Each structure stands twice: as structure tokens, then as C-alpha cells.
Structure 1
Amino acid sequence: MAYDPNNIFAKILRGEVPSKKVHEDEHTLAFHDINPLTPSHILVIPKGPYVSFDDFSEKASDAEIAAFTRAIGKVARDHGLAGDGYRILANIGENAHQEVPHLHVHIFGGKRLGRMLPKE
């Protein structure tokens, strides 16, 4: 999957599409999902043009990687999710149903979550 500079997250980063921001620093942006699946459903994205985690881990600077990781933890703490628990999820590629070609992590919380994957 190639990076599309007109994807929805790139547009949010450029200010062309509004978002309900909850965290922003030099390297990351976090905002509420517009179609939440749990009471707390927040997306964390790097500001750089990375399609996937493998792309990010290969090309991002140490500062970008640290900021992204720290942002995920900070957002979870700031929204009261760290105590009761939360789930982070990144869909990477076609088999995982990645819909937007920009690395993003979903933070789910605010209720008891089911199994990670149903048994088949």
C-alpha cells in the first residue's frame, strides 16, 4: 500500500478536515474517532507520511518513535483508561482491513472488551 497524501488523516494533519483533538505534540496527533466502537475510541497518528508500522519502524527517527509510543500511553492515562484497561489496535495492510493508508493506532476503552479475535 503506497502512501496517499490525500488520505483523511493527511487532510486532518493539514487542517483541511476538522477533528476533536485530545493530544498533539511535534510528532503525533490524537483525536476521537468519528464512529466510536467503545465509550473511549481515540486514534493516535504520527505526523509523518508512514503507511504502516513496518514502514514507520524502518524510516522514522528515534524521536518520532518515542513520541508516538509515549502519546499512546499519555492519551490512555489522560482518559482514565490505564486503571481498568484498554486495547490498542493497528490494522496493517489488506488482510487486516487497513482502511486509511496512514499508520494509526486505535485506543479502545471505557467498557469491558471481548476476546481479541473470535475463535474460528
Structure 2
Amino acid sequence: MKKISLIILVISVFNLMSCGNKKEKEDFGTSTTNSLVSAETGKTLFEGKGTCVACHKPETKIIGPSIREIATIYKDKNGNLVEFLKGKSDPIVDPSQFEVMKANFAITKNMTDDELESIKLYINSFN
């Protein structure tokens, strides 16, 4: 009887924990106040995982346009930077450099929505 009670208790605790985890997974990424989405996180991604900093500097065009230019043009043209980084929209800043940028889609397409939103916030902080 003790074994049955213990098994029932373990199953009950497991079910409670599973339900809690499902809720957390469902909510992740849907909140606009998610603390993981920030310009600071975006800067870290931009300079690290995204390797964006290799071609984009804050104020100077190197290989690609400057971060400030990207922010300004996307704001002025009401562009969707996240959709571009997902490979779902056409380039609007410097289409002549698009072939070079396409190589980075292998990185940005695998980023989460939160990561891409953070990069967008970082870029927009230059505007």
C-alpha cells in the first residue's frame, strides 16, 4: 500500500510540474515585456552569435551599411527588420549588398523571435 501511495504521489507531483512547464513554454516569447528582449541583449547578439558587427559598425559603412543608416531607413520606410532577418522580405537599405548579407541568413533564420526582436531594438537605439 505504501508503494502505491508513493507512486501516486510521484505521478501527481510530476503532473503538476509538467503542467507548470507547459504554461511557461506557452508564454515564452509571447509577452512584450519579456525581460530577455532588450537592446542590451540585442547588442550582445549583434556582436556575438549574429556576427553582424563584422560588416556593420555604428556610424561607419564598412562592408554593409552603418547601424544608424539601417535604423533610419527602416524607420523612414516603415520596414520590418525582423522579417528581413528571417529572409521573408526584400532588402530596403542597400540591395546591392544583398548577396553578401544572404550568407548570414543561415544564422539569423535560426534565431528565436526574441533574439531577432532584441537585435531590432539594438539597431533602433541608433535612431
Alignment TM-score, normalising by the size of structure 2: 0.27
Larger relative helix fraction = 2
Alignment TM-score, normalising by the size of structure 1: 0.27
Larger relative strand fraction = 1
